[in-house]
Amino acid sequence: MTDMQHETTRQGFPVEAWDAIAALYDEHVAPGESDLALAGLRLAGVRKGDTFLDVATGPGGLGLPAARLGAKVLAVDWAPGMIERFNAHVAAEGLDAEGRVMECHRLDIADDTYDVTGSQFGVMLVPDQARALREMVRVTKPGGRVFLTAYGNPDEFEALHFFVSAVRAVVPEFEGIPEDEPPLEFQVSDPEVLRRRLTDAGLKDVTVDTSHHERIEVLSGQQLWDWCIGGNPIPGALVADFTDEQREDIIRVLDGMIRERSAHNGPAVFTAPLNIGVGTK
Ligand SMILES: C[S@@+](CC[C@H](N)C(=O)[O-])C[C@H]1O[C@@H](n2cnc3c(N)ncnc32)[C@H](O)[C@@H]1O
């Protein structure tokens, strides 16, 4: 990884990098997230008729399932391409929801507005997480709930390690993700840190559920490649300097590894542990 890539991985990526992957995210990542979204919404007690704010929604990670449950949803994200896709899903399904472009460190929303506020894989990865969490608490009604869904222990993030080993098989000098200073994505991978950050943001009765996992099923190297590149700008930045031939070789290696993992029988399954923290204002 170059110094510049290392710095971006540490500081977070600009809005353009998220806009650039909005279509891939919507097609390859979002469809597999509905079970874990429902787990978060259930833990926070979202019910029909509640007002719900989804922060850093992407193409609708929490906002769409919440609207399908009958909540009145505002979904915000700083990337216009993500919000465009969210609003297209809302229109296609005729849901009671609206998407708006908004920076999560400065929500343009009045105090005490929402029954429940949540963020899945969004506020997890922003550079000033304490401030973004305080914003989520500020716009939630007294007595309302705030929740954050984030990745747990990076050592158990199977798809990521699989991807890195396939890249190393083709480019042996590939360094992968720095282990001494993990990316912002893992800043609350320790459930105790997440509990403390939610408490410091002004929440009470904070609990962190560690029983849920993200689970993806993949049939081909191309599918895992698309999931990795479409889910976050980091993998794309790591392979940005590779030639087309190297990329094709990596996808071929992934194909073989996936066939072996599934014992040539159906899709290979990859899991990653989650922390779902919930508190009351
Ligand atoms: C990994 S995606 C998660 C999307 C969605 N919440 C989900 O569960 O699939 C992270 C999202 O956070 C958004 N994001 C990153 N930084 C942000 C910021 N400072 N303000 C608002 N949105 C941000 C990105 O544009 C992206 O849509």
Q: What is the mean pLDDT of residues 166-194?
A: 90
Q: What's the CA gap between 273 and 265, in Å, rounded?
A: 25
Mean pLDDT of 11-31: 94
Residue 263 pLDDT grade (very low, low, confident, very high; cuts 50, 70, 90)? confident
217 CA to centre of ligand 1 in angstroms: 23
As a whole number, the mean pLDDT across the chain is: 94
Ligand 1 contact, 104 CB (< 6 A): yes
Q: Sketch the domain layout of the chain as residue ranges.
A: 3-280
Smallest CA-to-CA distance from 133 within 67, 73, 195 is with 195
Average pLDDT over residues 36-49: 98
pLDDT of amino acid 265 = 86
pLDDT score, position 4: 54
**Rounded mean pLDDT of 68-95?**
98
Ligand 1 site-directed mutation target among 28, 36, 120, 121, most atoms within 8 Å of CB: 121
Query: Do 177 and 164 touch, CB atoms closer than 8 A?
Result: yes
Pocket lining: 77 vs ligand 1, CB cutoff 6 Å:
yes
Q: What is the pLDDT of residues 127-155, one digit of tens each?
A: 999 999 999 999 999 999 999 999 999 99
Range 3-280 classified under CATH 3.40.50.150: yes
Atom of ligand 1 nearest to the CA of 12: 16
Residue whose Cα lies nearest atom 1 of ligand 1: it is 121
Give first-to-last CA distance, the chain, whole Å.
42
Is residue 56 lining ligand 1, measured as CB closer than 6 Å?
A: yes
Q: Which H/E stretch holds residue 54?
A: strand 51-55
Is the pTM higher than 0.85? The answer reads yes
pLDDT tier at 3, thresholds 50, 70, 90: low
Convert the pLDDT of each residue in 209-254 to its tens digit.
999 999 999 999 999 999 999 999 989 988 999 999 999 999 999 9
Q: What is the position in ligand 1's atom list of the atom closest to the CA of 232?
A: 1
- Ligand 1 pocket mutation, candidates 33, 103, 104, 107, criterion most atoms within 8 A of CB: 104
Query: Which of 181, 193, 218, 165 is CA-nearest to residue 277?
Result: 193
Ligand 1 neighbourhood includes 162 CB (under 6 angstroms): no
**pLDDT(2) > 70:** no
Q: What is the DSSP letter of 43?
A: H
- Collect contacts of 212-215 with beta carbons under 8 A, ≥24 apart: 212/36, 212/39, 212/274, 212/276, 213/36, 213/271, 213/272, 213/273, 213/274, 214/32, 214/33, 214/36, 214/151, 214/271, 214/272, 214/274, 215/32, 215/35, 215/269, 215/270, 215/271
Q: Which residue has the higher pLDDT, 164 or 7?
A: 164
Could you tell me the pLDDT band of residue 5, with boundaries at 50, 70 and 90? low
Query: Please, which pLDDT band fits residue 10 given cuts at 50, 70 and 90?
Result: low
